[in-house]
Amino acid sequence: MSDKAILEYQGKKYEFPVIEGTEGELGINIKTLRSEAGMITLDRGYKNTGSCESAITFLNGEEGILRYRGYAIEDLAEKADFLEVAYLLIFGELPNKQQLDKFYGDIKEESEVDEEMKKILDGFPKAAHPMGVLASLTSALTAFNPGSVDVESEEDMYKAIVKILGKFPVLVAWTQRKKSSLPLNYGDDSLGYVENLHKMMFEKPGKKYNVDKSVIEALDKLLILHADHEQNCSASTVRMVGSSHAGLFASISAGISALWGPLHGGANQAVIEMLEGIKADGGDTHKFMQKAKDKDDSFRLMGFGHRVYKNFDPRAKIIKKSADEVLNGLGVEDPVLDIAKGLEKEALEDDYFVKRKLYPNVDFYSGIIYRALGIPVEMFTVMFALGRLPGWIAQWREMRLKKEPIGRPRQIYVGENLREFKPVSER
Ligand code: ACO
């Protein structure tokens, strides 16, 4: 196989090296394209563009494979816990017991949030969407933790990482408590990372906190499934913002905003709202399938389709099974689960969906579990953000350690040519 790709334009040939990843993926390195051929590539939505070489997450959308640092997502979801996975993603290897204990100990040391932050939270109307609040609070953290990260120093980098991992769950919990008019509190250091988060979110004043172990296990699994997904919209945003050497917190805050949209992480909220809408309309899934296929109708089947997966999203398979287990285990009956299963069955047999390779994605069933766990609909995407935090950190760290240049795409200008300026009186 040739290790060069040749571009021919107006009788001239240009050669570009082809690089191969460890899983056999091929990429044409066009670094010299503009300087040699005087042209650029145009790739709306970056559907064919690799922005970096990365050793964090491998996914093969055609075969429905997802691996973090070489470990199958199915294995990690079943056998690891969220903090182990966070360590793996960020530092590249699974931690031993000592490393894990130190990691969690350091995170706990950094879990206090400046009291002044409460004033900022107070300034938001209660109706504010939790994702907007979370993005703002994360950005505001910068003000209370001054000093930029010296990325040349592993110690400095580590400090910034444990800080955000310590403070973020508190911000998530406060966002939820503000929404539910509950007093802002702190957690309990004797609990694990996910149980502590749950306690901070749901503990009621004067009531003993108690939670079923299966709830924590289900939540832990969901967070693992969301922990990274290579160069998606929010991870690319974190990398892009960080590439200007903006700090970790500012970069993560931008990632939260990117995640919020219904075409990305916001889909989990949109799915439940869609399923509820179908239920309220009488439960006719066929009618909504027709709407989804109608190009004159803006309705899309939320939770279906993916930029990369052209096969089952492996996370959706795990979550579907988990949804059944959680609902059965907690004795929750949710009629929208049946509507979701009905929609999935119809879509998988429908020509429109089959031809376009549209399968359920991670968000199709996650909202049903979140709801069964007592998490309010508007907090679904916030839970996704918490799950994705290690991935964002890992992507940011890799980008900075590799000294990636500032992200700055080019464009093909299609506007007006030079025009003569006329004063307002002559227009
Ligand atoms: N319902 C109906 N039709 C769809 C859907 C859907 N959910 N998704 C894609 N299509 C159709 C498109 O209309 C298009 O049809 P066409 O070829 O006739 O024009 C074709 O399938 C390809 O779709 P694109 O939008 O071009 O695919 P793209 O890769 O740009 O978008 C996306 C992927 C945004 C995920 C899309 O499938 C979608 O909007 N899904 C619903 C939202 C969703 O669930 N988002 C969560 C994604 S997972 C995550 O971010 C965690």
Q: Is the CB of 398 under 6 A from ligand 1?
A: no
Predicted TM-score (pTM) of the model is: 0.92
Does the active-site annotation cover 306? yes
pLDDT digit string, tens, across residues 71-87: 999 999 999 999 999 99
Given strand 57-60, what is the order of strands in its sheet? 57-60, 65-68, 71-72
Catalytic residue chosen out of the listed positions 229, 306, 313, 350: 306
How many residues are there in the chain?
427
Separation of alpha carbons 289 and 8, rounded Å: 45
Per residue, what are the HEC states of 110-158?
CCCCCCHHHHHHHCCCCCCCHHHHHHHHHHHHHHHCCCCCCCCCHHHHH
Q: Which atom of ligand 1 is nearest to the CA of 47?
A: 29
Q: 263, 271, 288, 364: which to mutate for ligand 1, most atoms within 8 A of CB? A: 263
Segment 416-420 shows an average pLDDT of 98
CA of 317 to the centre of ligand 1 (A): 19
pLDDT digit string, tens, across residues 404-417: 999 999 999 999 99
Q: Is the CB of 265 under 6 A from ligand 1?
A: yes
Q: Whose CA is nearest to atom 34 of ligand 1?
A: 263
CA of 408 to the centre of ligand 1 (A): 26
- pLDDT classification of 334: cutoffs 50, 70, 90: confident
pLDDT digit string, tens, across residues 4-22: 999 999 999 999 999 999 9
**Least confident interval from 27-41, 135-149, 232-246:** 135-149
In 243-284, alpha helices (H): 248-260, 267-280
CA of 294 to the centre of ligand 1 (A): 13
Sort residue 271 into left (φ over 0), alpha (ψ -120 to 50) or beta.
alpha
Segment 367-395 shows an average pLDDT of 94
Does the active-site annotation cover 81? no
In 180-247, alpha helices (H): 193-202, 213-225, 233-242
CA of 39 to the centre of ligand 1 (A): 30
Q: Is the CB of 303 under 6 A from ligand 1?
A: yes
Q: Is the CB of 300 under 6 A from ligand 1?
A: yes
